[in-house]
Structure 1
Amino acid sequence: MAINFEEISFQIITFAGEAKSKAFAAINSAESNQFAAAWQEIDLAYKAIIAAEKVHLEVIQQEAQGVKHEFSVLFMHAEDQMLTSQSTIDFAERFINIYKLINDKCNNKTNNK
């Protein structure tokens, strides 16, 4: 079964872009002390990145089964977008936790006065 690398690549890029956008939305929500909204955005980011990973896995499975594919710069770009989106989600989670910690500490100081 031949793979349409252009179609697969754009699917990965689309899902990865959505994941990255959701991760940044999560950071923005956390910065505004909207932590429930931030975690909802992270959940959406994970759904999008999982969709990208599933599309990517199709190519990997074919390679594992011995199907040889020609090198595609577009596919390499898609992989790069997917990997940076995964990192962005990881960093977004850390930012949410840091903003929450700062918020909690500031509220404790205010309440203790």
Structure 2
Amino acid sequence: MSEMKLEELTEEQVCFQMILHSGNARSKILQALRLYREGEMEKVNEMLADAEEDLSQVHKVHFQLVQQEAAGRQQELSLLFLHAEDHFMSTMTMKEMVKELIPIFQGLKG
């Protein structure tokens, strides 16, 4: 997956890329839970690693936005951008919860 460069994208494209990769990660995280229920631990770890790659793409773009703002370039806060950021943050939370819950579930299976 090639790295996204902000200067090559419109504001809408940046937002849609964030939503796309966050959505892909969310789907993979939920799939990891389904695989866990089916006892496919190796695939669970693969799926979570794939989700991490998607989230890494979003994080890179988000970090570029933060750097630009820190350098004095003000960002317009559109509803679309807020939606994209909400997707990103809720998916990050979901990922952390799943990574904490799976070992707990494993302990309960004993």
TM-score by length of 1: 0.84
1:99 deviates by 3.0
Q: Which residues in structure 2 correspond to 1:14-53 (within 5 Å)?
A: 14-53=20-59
Kindly report structure 1 stretches of 4+ aligned residues shifted beyond 6 Å.
none
Partner-residue secondary structure (3-state), 1:69 = coil
Count of matched residue positions in the alignment of Structure 1 and Structure 2: 104
Closer, same or farther: CA 67–2 of 1 in aligned 2, 3 Å: farther
Kindly provide the CA deviation profile for residues 55-105 of structure 1, in whole angstroms up to 9, marking residues without a partner as x: 1112111101000122211011100000000011111212321332233x2
The structure having more radius of gyration, on CA atoms, is 1
Q: CA RMSD in A?
A: 1.6
Gaps of at least 5 residues in structure 1 are: 106-113
TM-score norm. by structure 2 comes to 0.86
Shift of the alpha carbon at 1:2? Answer: 8.9
